[in-house]
Amino acid sequence: MATLRLDDFLDAQYKVGLIKIDVEGAEFLVLSGSKNTLLQSRPVVIFEYGLGASNYYDTQPEMMFGFFDKEVKYQIFLIEDYLKGRPALTQEAFARQYHERTNYYFVAVAKG
């Protein structure tokens, strides 16, 4: 089965509004292949991420948080918190959600 990066598949002029990712642990790989799309379109990203799947790909929560925070300038929220206008998660709070298996569903939104 062939795989393509989202950045290579989409026309550079195409405006993406929402990305939903549920790929059983390979979320970081999908995001890495979508970096230009995230930077250009600034879509909302809904993703599943948790221990038991992501560790198969050797992805740690610090990697995921760092990608969103530093590389594409996004904030990560619990979905309910985002909908209710509550603050974004800190890196420590995101890691705690992961390690304690409290929540698996998140939303990431461009800063500013």
The three state secondary structure string of 43-61 is: CEEEEECCCCCHHHHCCCH
Q: For residues 41 and 37, what is the distance between their CA atoms, to the nearest angstrom?
A: 6
pTM recorded for the entire structure: 0.93
Residue 14 tokens, joined: 């195409």
Q: What is the number of residues in the chain?
A: 112
**pLDDT given for residue 3 in this prediction:** 79
Q: pLDDT, tens digit, for every residue of 43-102?
A: 999 999 998 888 889 999 999 999 999 999 999 999 999 999 999 999 999 999 999 999
Q: For residues 84 and 26, what is the distance between their CA atoms, to the nearest angstrom?
A: 28
